[in-house]
Chain A
Amino acid sequence: MENGFEHEHERVAETQALAGLFGFLARCIEEEADAALIDLIRGELREPLAAAGLGFDEEFYHTPTATLVEVLAEEYTGLFVAPGCISPYASVVETGCMFKEPADRAAAAYRQAGWDYRNRLSGEFPDHIGTMLGFYAKLAEAEATARLTGDSERAEQYQTQREAFLLEQLAEWGPGWCQRAADAALLPFYKRLLGMAEQALWSELEQRVERRRLRELAALNRREPKRLDYDADFRKASGL
């Protein structure tokens, strides 16, 4: 009985940690860093990040916040928003176009779990990897809360949803995208955060899939993003 309690306690702690980790990554990737986030990273989270192996050079800690916000916004736009960016959408990676079926799948998963998607700025879609990581974190958080309240049935449900979302919607492209984006990043801030995100995703996947599937996922994540989905139906209809 005592072992069972300890085990549940560990599960709660682990799930809460996942919520924290992926929530942090989601916040960093889903939108530009603001002063509050920068203050958090340079203050309260400095030590934990360093302990995890993620440190920044001294310039990062001493640059005025307002300057850093501007510099990171420019990097964010070039990296994730403007034409020529590393498009952060599953649709673009999988089909070469924006707002395709992967966006529907992501939105459906959010709705199934009780969340709705609402963009803040134009040009944002549900299959943004930042939002998807955030959803993973929210499911982990909900799972942990359910466990803490003793609602193990609900916790299991959240866990199932979370793992399914990871395997079905992130596993085949998320880590590879993070690596590609990290390679393209000019500033250490995003380069390292994206590297961290990639490893976090692999770490999660290693927990949940066997080695053979892991190898398949590694190959899938090495794919170049598709430029454009060839629609055979269109080509036939148009006579091209």
Chain B
Amino acid sequence: MSDSIKFTRRDFMKFGGAVGTAAGALGLTSSRLVAMEQDLGGKDYSPATGAERQAVPYTCMACNIEDGGVAYVENGRIVKLEGNMDHPNTRGKLCAKGNSGFLHVYDPDRIMTPLLRTGKRGEGKWKRISYDEATTLLASKLREVIDRADAEHKPEILNEIVFKYGRDRTGGAVGRFMHALGSNAVLNHTNICESSKKIGLEPTWGPDIESCDWANTKYILNFGSNVLETAYFMNPNAQRLVDGVVGNKAKLVSFDVRMSNTSGFADEAFFPYPGTDGAIALAMAHVIMNEGLHDADFISNWTNVSVKQLIDHLKPYTPEFAEEESGMSAKDIRRIAREFATTKPATTFSYRGPCKHVWGSYQEAAINMLNVITGNVEKKGGYCLPRGMGWPQPQPEPPKGKTASLIAAPPLYPLASHHVSTHAPYMIKKGEAKVSVWMHYYDNPVYTYPSSHVWKEMLSDEKLIPFQVSFSPYMSETTELADLIIPDVTYLERHDPESMPGGLYPCLSIRQPVVKPLGGTQEFRQTLIDVIHKVDPDGSKGMKKYFAFNSVEDWMRAHFDAIPGLKEDGGWDFMKKKGVWPIYGEVDKVTAKIVDKNGNDVEPDYGLYTKEISASDMAGAEVDPDGTIKKDGQAIGVQVNGRNMVGFGTPSRRMELYKASYKKYGFNPLPVYKRLPSRDKKADELVLTTYKVNVHTQSRTASLKYLAELYHKNPAWINPKTAAARGLSDGDLIRVTSSLGYIVTRAHVTEGIHPDVVAISTACGHSAYGRLAQLKQREQAADYVQGGDADIANNVWWNDKGVHPNPIIRLAVDPIGGSQGWYDTVVTVSKAESGDKYGDTNASLEASMKDYEETLRYAYTGDIHRSKHQEVDIDWNSLPEPALPSGGH
């Protein structure tokens, strides 16, 4: 008898299934096989030929985080991007945007040659011309203004030359260009970004942002920042946040009106009413101070306030008060405050959520204060100063223009040192400022600004803007309105110096062409050289000497070749080879920590403010009664307990929780909570908020296939209870209506949103920016498609490009820091009306102009400002007169 058993296939399946469900059999498999991981920072080879690909380091600029990257080049083409393992802060990682960046280079909708408008402005009719013709034309327009200013002896005329940028990562090239021309009219985008965060922080300790030691902390309070997906320094911060939470068992507590992926990752997530983060932070401070959980020594030695002063100031901000304002329970506020104060080390992080409101600067200052009163500043695992490195500017440098620009520095916002560019179109439309030449670079206000239709209206008006130049390589909503386009190359084809404080290791990095500029296109830096040389061909205007570079690389050498330390390593040539300097060590592939050649951790420096002042620096210095050390009239440090230390970047060299600069203009010098108008909305109204998503920038990435495929539509998030009250279901066509008008979009019904909030992401709903962003390639030529499947042929399977919310977002500016209050617009949400179509947008220019007048009432001279700051002890009749900054800026 044979003892062989005949198995049937059914037997095998049955047994296998049983093994799969048996608890004791879990993990039965080979222990030798592990998941294959990409060997980051390694070499790369062509799969076709086996040839090693050329690796060229660069600095990313898919967004503004400036991660270190390496481009792999094969046959002169970029075939792959990955992180640069030598970059100490991004440690060999790029995000999805960074990985996809090379698509910018080869996008067939990229502008590859200068275009001169031939039809009406915005009509889309162009004639191609050469870079030489284009720079000659721009130079002639600039020269007209310069000659008029000279003839009339009015340097203020030079401010009719306006340069507006959204991202300026040129390392000073734009400022050099404009100052060489004699103009101060440089408008940035910071007030639609985080300017009120900067103004909440800078007067307190000097720099404009914090650098948390996520990896070594034990407790994190995250206020309104989606740090795992999008916030400032997302890539390095997200890596280290995960290190801290997973590796160091830190607790993460997150506050957001929406269930972001960061809140989803948190140990505890709270969903406060929009704009009430400050109330929560102040209430926590109230608890910490009143329960004696504060660091009395740090407050006494390193701030300009006393414990008693703080306790008195915080008296009204009880947890119950904060509960009333925010909806977060007083019990939780007390509990979290105690945990934060007693768990060491701890840190907060905040980004747009708190600061992008009217009075957002107060909210930022309130959050910052939590770290100060608990003594977590500049501690390992705490709330640290940002670490960046500077580089010298080539000499000679042009002086700033002689006259301040009204639109660049509106006098009603004296504290908003990062400027208030949102007001420019309103001021120009009202005739308060004249423009002759308007240039824009990495800027798309017709899409990215609140009440974006106002920008379109202004930039379309040839009487207001007689000549308009775009340097964009993409046909954005704003570039469409240009008279002349002189396209820059993409960030993978040009030179820039960089140093971003994206972590605790200060470093320099560079952008360099990883491939030759495609098709003979010209980088912006060369365009600036050419224009100046044509404006001032013989040097008689005194401009040419500031652009005496034989080449763009020559310009870069002037930045990098003389930096001590780097010079010895090879200067610019070292940067070209490695992309970043200094090299702190290697990334340990197991721990992801930076280690030296012996495998020991390379720790960042902490306690920067306690650095001793050398005896030679102290020579001739005097110590004020309050301990401030002054030399030649300048504060250089502070004496604490007999030690002379550098302190912080403030006049007293201490952390100035009390901001005298605020008080001068009638603002409260200490962090306070001001109830926003949106907090008093009617019961049937909602607050509209926007948010960024992890695979897109605000405007520039909708044309990238890999990213657009991942995210391309932006339905309005609405809570189930809120939706039910309006008879709405998921996917319904809805109208979102503000006082400016309405958009028609779709509802995304989700528990992950505050019931009083409707949230719509940015990055979608383009009316320009190439065919993919607009889904134009789905519009087929009917007689051409004969049997082909357009979806398959184009690989574009989606049919929804989203709806952009900005036209209905009201202009509302923080009177302190100047930030746009992106999250202060009150709306109603209802079912779409008969005849409404998805994407319909209707916004009133007249209503937007009224918003401008309204927001000026919050400025320091306005009646609303005064009525909301009665507690400030100043002579309200003696406020400083609005004035332009003296000289340039």
A-side interface residues toward B, CB under 8 Å? 32, 70, 73-74, 76-78, 81-84, 87, 89, 92, 96-100, 104, 119, 121-125, 176, 179-180, 183-184, 219, 222-224, 226-228, 230-231, 233-234, 237-240
Contact = CB atoms under 8 A, between A and B. Distances in A.
A92 B108 contact: yes
A97 B795 contact: no
B300 interface: no
Interface residues of B, number: 58
A84 to B, nearest CB: 6
A99 B793 contact: no
Interface of B: 38, 47, 75, 77, 79-80, 82, 96, 99-100, 103, 106-115, 118-119, 124-128, 130-131, 474-475, 518-522, 705-706, 710, 770-772, 776-777, 780-781, 783-788, 790, 793-796
Nearest to B704: A228
A223 B47 CA distance: 28
Given A183-B783, A230-B795, 11 more contacts: A73-B118, A74-B127, A82-B111, A98-B112, A99-B519, A122-B131, A223-B793, A226-B794, A227-B705, A233-B79, A238-B100
Contacts of A87: 108
Contacts of A228: 103, 705, 795
Interface SS majority for chain A: loop
Contacts of B80: 233-234, 237
Given A74-B127, A77-B128, A97-B106, A83 B474 contact: yes
Contacts of B784: 176, 179-180, 183, 222, 224
A115 B593 CA distance: 54
Contacts of B107: 97-98
Contact of A100 (B47, B77, B770, B772): B77
A122 B127 CA distance: 14
A67 to B, nearest CB: 12
Contacts of A92: 108
Contact of B794 (A227, A233, A237): A227
A74 B119 contact: yes
B520 A82 contact: no
Most chain B beta carbons < 10 A, residue from A219, A228, A233:
A228
A203 to B, nearest CB: 20
A125 B110 CA distance: 14
A223 B75 CA distance: 28
A176 B786 CA distance: 12
Contacts, number: 149
A172 B463 CA distance: 50
A225 B108 CA distance: 11
A104 B126 CA distance: 29
B519 A119 contact: yes
B103 A122 contact: no
Nearest to B114: A122
Given A82-B115, A233-B80, A119 B520 contact: yes
A237 B82 contact: yes
9 contacts: A82-B111, A84-B475, A119-B520, A121-B520, A122-B521, A183-B783, A184-B781, A227-B794, A237-B38
A130 B793 CA distance: 25
Given A83-B474, A122-B113, A96 B108 contact: yes
A121 B124 contact: no
Contact of A98 (B96, B106, B114, B770): B106
Contacts of B38: 237, 239
Closest 9 CB pairs of A and B: A123-B112, A97-B106, A224-B793, A83-B475, A122-B520, A83-B109, A123-B113, A228-B705, A123-B519
A157 B44 CA distance: 40
A99 B520 CA distance: 12
A228 B124 CA distance: 24
B106 A227 contact: no
A2 B604 CA distance: 92
Given A98-B108, A122-B112, A74 B705 contact: no
B520 A124 contact: yes
Contacts of B127: 70, 73-74, 77
A229 to B, nearest CB: 9
Task: Give the one of B127, B475, B771 with max A CB within 10 A.
Answer: B127
A180 B197 CA distance: 52
A123 to B, nearest CB: 2
A227 B112 contact: no
B77 A123 contact: no
Contact of B124 (A78, A219, A238, A240): A78
Given A122-B521, A123-B113, A81 B128 contact: yes
B128 A84 contact: no
Contacts of B518: 98-99, 123
B833 to A, nearest CB: 33
A227 B796 CA distance: 8
Contacts of B109: 83-84
A111 to B, nearest CB: 15
Contacts of B106: 97-100
A81 B793 CA distance: 23
Contacts of A82: 111, 115, 124, 126, 128, 475
Contact of A224 (B111, B114, B770, B780): B780
A74 B706 contact: no
B521 A222 contact: no
Given A82-B126, A227-B772, A233-B80, A98 B110 contact: yes
Contact of A77 (B100, B115, B520, B710): B115
A8 to B, nearest CB: 41
A118 to B, nearest CB: 10
A1 B99 CA distance: 68
Nearest to A69: B127
B159 to A, nearest CB: 32
Nearest to A222: B786
A78 B126 contact: yes
Nearest to B106: A97
